[in-house]
Structure 1
Amino acid sequence: MRIPTSLLALTVLLAAPALAQKPQGAAPQRPAGYPRSYDATIADARAEGRVRIYANADRAELVPVVEAFKRRYPGIQVFYADLGSTEMYARFVRETRARQYSADIVWSSAMDQQVKLINDGYAQQYASPEKPALPETAVWKNMGFGVTAEPIGIVYNRRLVPAGQVPQSHQDLETLLRTRRAAYTGKVATFDPARSNTGYLYLSQDFQTTRDTRSLMEAIARTRPVLETTTGPMLAGVASGKLAIAYNVIGSYALEQARRHPDLGVVFPRDYTLVTSRIAFIAREARHPAAARLFLDFLLSREGQGQLARHSLWPVRSDVPSRRLPPGQARVVRVGPQLLVNLDRLTRARFLRDWNAILGNGQPRP
């Protein structure tokens, strides 16, 4: 679970003993299958000596990737700023417009914001040698690269939700909340789409998937739900028993927490499960473009994807061993321009008016 840090906090991952810089010897060999011209990219990256990343992946998820990257490319420092998606977007845009030193790579779970930055000219094109191994849905314009394939699920407390009542689908969840509303009043949580861009993305995708989403949201609204801006408080609330159920939770975080909290159960709805991706791109004004290419390629490589998979971030590549959803269950959110619809001001305003109406209708009448 990501622990928020100060907006200005910059974590120098190499400060940890496990990441101590290795002495530079012979030039690292290019990965197998890469073109001979990649030798020049490696040489340029070593000359640059560093790469700066803005991301909202947890340190526990990223540090092993950085360690492996350092073993392959010793001498390249990795600087990582752990930022919320909204903070990341604002900071990167502000610094870029002011021509200040900013990120070389921007890597975020806010898919629509990433696509907007790419569409607005903040990214540079790069034909990664790893592209042929990626699903078509994970690459847009050789700029935006989906690095993960993360399912969005339902989390529940095993002590508060009897085994026979655990919802296995969206319809199951709606039925449970309608038939046992009193038991779950004040015990259900979800994202607040008005305050969380991630929550807005997930809920808008639900509405695009099925018209039944409105009925489910009405059932949730009648429980007087707890509305959060991040996954962390929802998982903590369910694990402690303060909450019984959390809807639309990032599956990678939920599975990681379930390892530590035996009362935490995770369900990926069998009717459909949204699968989102953390999109990475290389900044148009990157100060260290060659090192950024190396790091992006490593994230997309089998080795990098394998490191992510070992820390609950499901890889986007199908040739990396990992847990997978059953065929037909995944509703993959494609990396591409259709996500820009979410950021249209009129569309967003109309959506949030409807959401507020659902919440208002769900409150008990005086």
Structure 2
Amino acid sequence: MIRLLIVMLCWLLVASVHAEERLDYPARSDGGEATALVVHGALDPIHVRPLLEAFHRRHPGIALTYRNLGTLTLHRRFLEHPEEADVLLSSAMPWHYRLANDGHARPLDTATADAWPARARWRRELFAFTFEPVVMVVRRELVERYGRPESHADLLALLERHADALRGRVVTYDPARSGAGYTYAIAESRLSPRYWDLVAALGEADAALADTTGEMLSGLSEGRYWVGYNLLGSYARAVVEADPALAMVIPDDYALVTRRLALMPRGAPHPETARRFLDFLIGEAGQRVIAERTALGALHPALTGPGTANALRESHGEALRPLSLGPGLLATLDDLKRQALLARWRREFARGSEGLPPP
């Protein structure tokens, strides 16, 4: 039964990338005039529903519609129909930053916005509202035979020593097909001098390349893979907690942290309700919902304990490396830089699979 539950959850994580899902919360009469709010997000219903429900309880006179879209679909749809949504939520940090940088975002002029940490916002137009480490997930079989890798250095050593035994049992993102995978690749290539050695080692182990964290979790739950590299921790946590054969590892040498971003479009059809929702999202009440009822990680500086960024910083300290919210994100969208990085990634991965010496 547990295995069936896990596989179903993984399937939902994969499916949500490709199909639009819609949640509706009709307005309930509160004696005032009914209004509306339309939110487009690249955030699965399992994570966003508690936030939507909490907001709707506070504002029952607002007819709330949420559409769950893939990150690139959300981006394209906004550019084609900029008047359609009041709030945009996305995990694709470079694409969302570009929208704000290109002048598509409406400022949030509230006390909550003023108090939000400077490192988690751009001007008053773009706000990070989650704190999600990028993790490894390992199976019991791997730990029993070779030990548990606690860092990127451990993983590299494991792959170099046991490439034959682990052939086909490792999975990671394909940076050519996955926006998240590409974002992590460019960040790690800047962060770690051994990153390209790790890519070569993945190639030597004939690692499977996936589009989504859901795909990786499905293969890990089924036992096809023994180690998954660079999974989104917020999605991995629920699956790992339900399956005693799996363990989640936040690397102790460095761990990338991605943060979902929210903005209000300038052409939002309902700017006042958009303002209320975004203020709730980064306010203590909304952040408490994130901490207590989701796996996304609350950023609010006043919140401590499980499910918060403060708790993760206490346990992992300087190892946490949040992706910076600033102009550097635009470099990931430069076509020439993208082509150059992907060409090197393919070359290093192939070098490992062919057993060639370093260039």
TM-score by length of 2: 0.89
User: Could you tell me which of 334, 337, 345 is aligned with 2:324?
Assistant: 334
Assess, with a 3 A threshold, how the Cα gap between structure 1 residues 107 and 163 changes in structure 2: closer, same or farther: farther
Letter in 2 for 1:23: S
Q: Which residue of 2 is the match for residue 317 of structure 1?
A: 300
* Count of paired positions: 337
The 3-state SS of whatever aligns with 1:159 is: helix
| Worse-superposed segment, 267-276 or 256-265 | 256-265
4+ long deviations beyond 6 Å:
none
Matched with 2:191 is: 209
Q: 2:151 aligns with which of 166, 169, 174?
A: 169
**2:59 aligned with 1:84, yes or no?**
no
The aligned residue for residue 66 of structure 1 is 52
Match of 1:140 in 2: 122
| Residue 214 (structure 2) pairs with residue 232 (structure 1) | yes
- Residues 337 and 187 of structure 1, relative CA distance in 2, 3 Å threshold: same
**2:165 aligned partner:** 183
* Residue of structure 1 in register with 2:24 after alignment: 13
- Structure 2 unaligned spans of 5+: 1-9
Matched residue SS, 2:317? coil
Aligned Cα root-mean-square deviation (Å): 2.0
Distance in 2 (alpha carbons) for counterparts of 1:148 and 1:349? 30
Residue correspondence of structure 1 range 223-302 to structure 2 within 5 A:
223-302=205-284
Sequence identity of aligned pairs in percent?
34
Higher percent of residues as helix = 2
In the superposition, the TM-score normalised over structure 1's length comes to: 0.87
Q: What SS class does the counterpart of residue 173 from structure 1 fall into?
A: helix
SS of the residue aligned with 2:175?
coil
Question: How far is 1:114 from its partner?
Answer: 0.5
| Partners of 1:365 and 1:221 in 2: CA distance | 9
**Partner of 2:39 in structure 1?**
53
Pick closer, same or farther for the CA change 1:263–1:335 going to 2, 3 Å. Answer: same
Q: Which amino acid in the other structure matches residue 291 of structure 1?
A: T
Aligned partners of 1:263 and 1:206: how far apart in 2? 28
Counterpart residue identity of residue 87, structure 2: I
User: What is the letter of the counterpart of residue 320 of structure 1?
Assistant: L
Q: Give 1:356 shift.
A: 1.1
Aligned counterparts of 1:69 and 1:224: Cα–Cα separation in 2 = 46
Deviations 1:187-227 (A, max 9, x none): 11111111111111111111111111111111111111111
Classify the secondary structure of the residue corresponding to 1:269.
Answer: coil
Unaligned runs of 5+ in 1: 15-19, 28-45
Shift of 1:331: 0.7
Q: Which residue of the other structure, out of 6, 23, 29, is the alignment partner of 1:23?
A: 29
